[in-house]
Structure 1
């Protein structure tokens, strides 16, 4: 069903989103929207909220999906996704699991080829975890001459090295327990074109709603335990979001596009679209996941 504004969807959100988990996808532009929706539907999300510009045209079979709730949304406004997610948290039943991301971003988790996201969440709940850290792994086209927007699903590359973490500190300068700031990918290699607040690649992308929970503009939450990478007693599951978003932005931005003739370097490798590759490269953690 299509809604002209998020306010028209919120009164029915509790009923519409009762059968989670829910994927919230914001289409910043018209690139790879349907492949993004298809990927997350196949991953096991029962409901999808699509925040999209009014001019987006979807195939009739996609538009008519009863599990798709399309909302016309001012996607180019600052923090448009964050504001929408917070409104959905407040309107959905408590305990609803959400994922949020953008078009041309694809969620992966350990062994996702044989275990769906509902099984992942069930295991995570048994570990007494209410949120899951994800690393946003930059994808990019190997040939920008053929793909000037840097998006090529069939010829996608990622960096196999160059990732690192720094201790996260509170506003008072104290080191925060089980929290780190992660960096790497093309945001690191081309950091002169990326504002400092946007250089991190960590995102709390999967979480369970509760009263008072708020997503912050830096993709962390107002409840600090949600922002931890692991529980106190052992390593926890983490996920990965394979994302063309940064590459697309760098090539479409007039201030950076002419400085970047190619994203390829000696540590570029083809993306295999498999969880095993991401685990092998240390870009997500299976924890105690069996």
Structure 2
């Protein structure tokens, strides 16, 4: 269903759509893999998907009735945070939401045979209102066949090279918060601004009054930014993403310096949660 803008959606459809979670919001920066991204979140069990797309991008017309198309300028600084915070404010408190970009694919433990609703119900029972997700860079190996470095059939990832540093606050390290690094942003850091090198996001969360998503993918509630509760480890998930590879290959400032993303620690992505857990890129916590 197409809307003129976010105001139109909030007036005409938001009360009904946002009343039934979990809900996925996809920010389309271009037209790459729009259909596969939307189909992925719907197949995981999200009840609705909201596509925020550039006015110049024609949204797909072959998907289900529970996909909602809203024009949105993807190139302004608050292209994600402004619409997300308005959607958060409009949703009933306690609604689970997920956000990602096009050509990004959420994976959580056992997602092949368990729905996102089942997983979030367990996470809620553990008194958690947010979930840490790691953005795992995917990339194609053949730039001649895939000039934008995107290929679902020949996707590779780094099997090692990930690390975490303490997240510092005014009074020292923040409790149960870390900054995570790795992937293409680490290997090609000279082409990535320092403020964009982290690979951690809180991309699964429950809405509540006054909650705000911030520009650095954290929230204004410090507890939402923690990787686990104080008493044991919790579930984590992964967002498998072509976004960095696509940007590095299409950006004139980096494309001519990069001839391949492949290195000795590259491994073909199997599109499975088992592989991600075995590589230590997400963990099931107490959920078996």
**TM-score in same-fold range (> 0.5):** yes
Per the alignment, residue 54 of structure 2 pairs with 53
Q: Secondary structure at the residue paired with 2:240? A: strand
Match of 1:104 in 2: 103
Q: TM-score, normalised by structure 1?
A: 0.97
Residue in structure 1 matched with residue 9 of structure 2 by the alignment = 9
Q: Distance in 2 between matches of 1:157 and 1:108?
A: 15
1:60 Cα shift? Answer: 3.0
Q: Distance in 2 between matches of 1:142 and 1:61?
A: 30
Which residues in structure 2 correspond to 1:1-290 (within 5 Å)?
A: 1-11=1-11, 12-62=13-63, 65-170=64-169, 172-290=170-288
Query: What is the CA distance between 1:145 and its match in structure 2?
Result: 1.7
Aligned length: 287
Q: Deviations over 1:234-262 (max 9, x none)?
A: 00000000000000000110000000000
**CA–CA separation in structure 2 for the residues paired with 1:209 and 1:58:** 27
- Quote how far apart the aligned CAs of 1:77 are: 1.3
1:79 shift after superposition: 2.4
CA positional deviation for 1:104: 0.1
- Matched residue SS, 1:129: coil
Structure 2: unaligned runs, 5 residues or longer: none
RMSD: 0.9
Displacement, 1:7?
A: 1.1
**Bigger shift: 50-59 or 172-181?**
50-59
For residue 255 of structure 1, give the secondary structure of its aligned residue in structure 2.
Answer: coil
Structure-2 change in CA distance of 1:173 and 1:186 (3 Å): farther
Q: Using the TM superposition, give the Cα deviation of residue 146 of structure 1 relative to its aligned residue in structure 2, in angstroms.
A: 1.3
Distance 1:173 1:160 in 2: 35
TM-score by length of 2: 0.98
CA distance in 2, matches of 1:129, 1:59: 35
Q: Deviations over 1:151-181 (max 9, x none)?
A: 01100000000000000011x1511000000
